[in-house]
Chain A
């Protein structure tokens, strides 16, 4: 994974010194609250319902064990001993004191971490597939390009005050999209052209929130060397022409819609024609240098354990289910990808204690070359586990609560912090997630109904990505009371789609039963092996409506 050189270290240290100075001026009253606001947001600090929150960047989800241990220590020393994995591969602290934040940032910088641009109207942390570099069906490892984007976007002097926040995601898998690129401001799909050259298909103007949209393609093939100049052209067009008069119309998707995708693309091409050959054009040397940080770890010749594993699975049903659900195929023979689920019923999705962070660090050191990846589904991945150590790993993580074998099932809920923590919420989201998890606690039944994305947001801001859940739940406010609106048929994958609203919203207590009815309709109508989304697409929303509102 990427390692800082002296330039990165210097820039990181200078950033901490700058924010210390800004914080001192703010506390001394030299900066008004509205003037300090974007400065602290771009250092990850925002104020929520109960306290300030600090959102720490985890660039494209990668963490080393030493960084996890430092995070654990920070949560103990400056917070209440736990942290939260967000739906954008970042980590959040819930209760830091404002005056401590410069010290926290200094501690993070020591382990090559930061909170730059994790909030505010700027280019945010670039996200990607958590299985990058270890899956078989990958065009190339997208992480070097993510790091290239990270560096280019860090303190970009032209784009620090955009009309609104700006999120970029990269995907390199041919058949799956775990990064939900089509619902990002820019989604980059890695592709090869007919000559076999690497490049990107560029989607612009996807997004959730108030006006959910799947991002149209504005360029079918962008050669890899042109990545940064083209991004600069897109951002410049957006910075100049994106709406600034209305916060709700300020995202790039509104501009793309107003100009039409073709009109927007033409503007970008025109801007790009002036800068495409500037020194910002990537060189082979630079690309290879970044690739050099993401080489394969020291994989070993692992003895063939197919039979032992088969026996272990046969003798131990829970282990068998865990393998079936939480373990994925690895490109290297003898290795497997393991997802540690952070979705134990009764724990808010994505929450981890300081102790758990240290346990994850130990697991990474022992089983996966000292690295982990954070997923936008709020789980943690050990990407390089030897197959002959799977059983042992499973035994050690079961008591830690990381082995709930529900990955990608209905109870692997994506859920924003909602009304328990978030000032913007219309309704609580965590108790709804928990009630649904309790309703579907029979694992056999859960496996029988198969993979279903259930996403919950506490308000229109859609941090829980409810529009792209196969089942989406949105907290709404009805005359001061918390209600929940359901949508069906969303998807964040290659077949990205925005869910359709089922009908009038429901009270919180009714939610488990409503979800149960929806599942019953699916079970009644599915053909063999047909996943929920396919059944929905085949039969439409009516049968669900009829049952739920009967």
Chain B
């Protein structure tokens, strides 16, 4: 069971598993437990999962969140994969899911998720984080809270500092 960090820095456990994209010629096997499946495959076979409330999706960093327009809130969890921590596309994907597609449920950062990127993820609308296993989960709260405010609007606040100053 993965340890999951929440935006206040506390740690909880849950049992969402990530189902990778099947290799060429193989088909998707959805496990009985709560599962995050590739977003494109979920879209293609959406009707199969209607009986289950424990199926979510994951998006890779090169994928377009727009494909989920209109149906995002049917999903209890959307995960965004960071293949490498220096791949910053996931931040834009998160903001688009939240601010453009109005996604309201859980948004999870997975993949190469390190401590020093948590603050950016939080501001872009993620609310849970699965830290890379070798990193010290006890430092997450500290790393999420170095800053008490930011200059610009993002998902966490739509009021930029220049409007708060007046």
What residues make up the interface of A, taking CB atoms closer than 8 Å to B?
5, 7, 10-11, 14-15, 17-18, 21-22, 30-31, 35, 38-39, 121, 148, 151-152, 154-163, 228, 236, 239-240, 244, 274, 278-280, 282-283, 285-286, 289-290
User: Looking at the complex, which one of B91, B117, B161, B162 makes contact with A158 (CB distance below 8 Å)?
Assistant: B91
Asked if B24 is an interface residue, CB under 8 A from chain A, the answer is no
User: Looking at the complex, which one of A17, A21, A159, A228 makes contact with B88 (CB distance below 8 Å)?
Assistant: A159
Asked if B108 is an interface residue, CB under 8 A from chain A, the answer is no
Interface of A: prevailing SS: helix
Minimum C-beta distance from B155 to chain A (A): 8
A121 to B88, CA, bound (A): 10
B162–A14 touching, CB < 8 Å: no
Segment at the A interface, from B1-9, B33-41, B44-52, B140-148: B140-148
Supposing A7-B161, A286-B162 touch, asked if A155 and B150 sit within 8 A by C-beta, the answer is yes
Contacts of A159 in B (CB 8 A): 88, 91
- Interface positions of B from 121 to 166, Cβ below 8 Å from A: 121-124, 136, 142-143, 146-154, 158-166
A484 to B8, CA, bound (A): 57
B160–A21 touching, CB < 8 Å: no
Minimum C-beta distance from A308 to chain B (A): 47
A279–B151 touching, CB < 8 Å: no
B150–A158 touching, CB < 8 Å: no
A239–B147 touching, CB < 8 Å: no
B147–A155 touching, CB < 8 Å: yes
Residue picked from A152, A157, A244, most chain B C-beta under 10 Å: A157
B116–A285 touching, CB < 8 Å: no
A280–B116 touching, CB < 8 Å: no
Please list 25 pairs of residues, one from A and one from B, whose beta carbons are closer than 8 Å in the complex, sorted by A's number. A7-B149, A10-B149, A11-B147, A14-B146, A17-B146, A21-B143, A35-B114, A155-B150, A157-B150, A157-B152, A158-B124, A161-B88, A161-B91, A163-B88, A240-B89, A240-B92, A278-B153, A279-B153, A279-B163, A280-B152, A280-B153, A280-B160, A282-B162, A286-B162, A289-B162
User: Looking at the complex, which one of B116, B124, B159, B163 makes contact with A22 (CB distance below 8 Å)?
Assistant: B116
With A11-B147, A280-B153 known, 7 other A-B pairs at CB within 8 A are: A7-B161, A157-B120, A157-B150, A158-B120, A163-B88, A228-B152, A279-B160
Minimum C-beta distance from B21 to chain A (A): 19
Minimum C-beta distance from B131 to chain A (A): 13
A5 to B161, CA, bound (A): 12
Q: Across chains A and B, which 6 residue pairs bring their CB atoms closest together, nearest first?
A: A161-B88, A157-B123, A18-B146, A286-B162, A157-B120, A151-B151
Supposing A155-B151, A160-B120, A280-B152 touch, asked if A286 and B163 sit within 8 A by C-beta, the answer is yes
Minimum C-beta distance from B125 to chain A (A): 10
A5 to B65, CA, bound (A): 39
A148 to B163, CA, bound (A): 12
